[in-house]
Structure 1
């Protein structure tokens, strides 16, 4: 009987340890609020995702900052004429299931969320260009 009690307590302790030591990635898996920096960009070509590390060319890394009041700030940089220029745009956002809608002053963009954890946001945007359907993929990391 004593061995059975020790076995039960050991299993219970092991189970509680496994539950209490789960990674922080699971904690905020559905939260989009915060600052996200782009790490990779690409497209879906012939039903295959082709992404590459983002090259900032020495400029500030583009980012998206989502606040819990439904507003966002989109920061982009570009290297032009031997210098970096940084631009910001703001708007409102709404997440409904796996759809993230961004409303800028002059347009609305819908992203499909493929992955959202406390550290990674991966989105796909599909649009038409010249009669073809194009799917762009972006991967962000939480800053």
Structure 2
């Protein structure tokens, strides 16, 4: 597949998550709640996690922001559901490395998250992509 076709596919995946977000909403009972924002651009996220016996049982988000920020939150919540906390944190580390343009582990199938790989070429957008991930890290560590 040519670079142009791959780029278009990734854009399509990002826009699909932005227009049809997965796990949008909040968890009401016994949920870890994290609110974070990116003052640089105004992106804002409200993340709720239900963690039971060290496993992320459910993850939902709400907020406002650009397509990168909101699609990243949608992809992240999909990817971490059912994962142990240490696996979710490892995925956040892998995502961070991907955003910095570094080689990252292929231990996990990153699924749709790989569509955000091109964001690493736009330093101003990295904070948009990592906002939800930083919120998740903060939440599971508390």
TM-score by length of 2: 0.31
Higher relative contact order (CA 8 A, sep 6+): 2
Structure 1 or 2: larger strand share? 1
Structure 1 or 2: larger helix share? 2
Q: Which has the larger radius of gyration?
A: 1
